Amino acid sequence: KLSYEENLEQIKTSKKIIEDIINEETKFFQAPAGSFGEGTMKAANELGYTSIKWDVDTIDWNNRKEPEVIIERVKKKDIKDGSIVLMHPTYATTQCLDDIIQIIRDKGLKPGMLSNIF
């Protein structure tokens, strides 16, 4: 619902904060909640981002203390070559990350980074 100008300002601010912390240029942009409005896309593109959209949602934000729920959810997902698994930095996600990686490997796939896909 933000205008192009509001999107541009917020994305610029986030970009600076993140890059100052990690001391590296950011390359990818994921719109909050997957809301890719016209102004959002225009602003992200202007800042040189490759915009990405996940296709496997762990919904880990809803189960912050229940790694077993996340694991069972991911097992049921249609993960394929090139899938992007959405995860957040929650306690439960850190506890089940190895399991998620194993689920991906069990499907004959190799987990990787966005830069491997794009």
Q: Where are the domains of the chain?
A: 4-51, 56-111
Q: Is the pLDDT of residue 58 over 80?
A: yes
Share of the chain above pLDDT 70, in %: 100
Which one, of 49, 46, 56, 53, lies nearest residue 28 by Cα?
A: 49
CA 12, 17, 20: angle at the middle one, nearest 5?
Answer: 120
User: What's the pLDDT at 39?
Assistant: 92
Confidence bin at 87 (pLDDT 50/70/90): very high
Q: Is the pLDDT of residue 117 over 80?
A: no
CB 88 within 8 A of CB 61: yes
User: What's the pLDDT at 33?
Assistant: 82
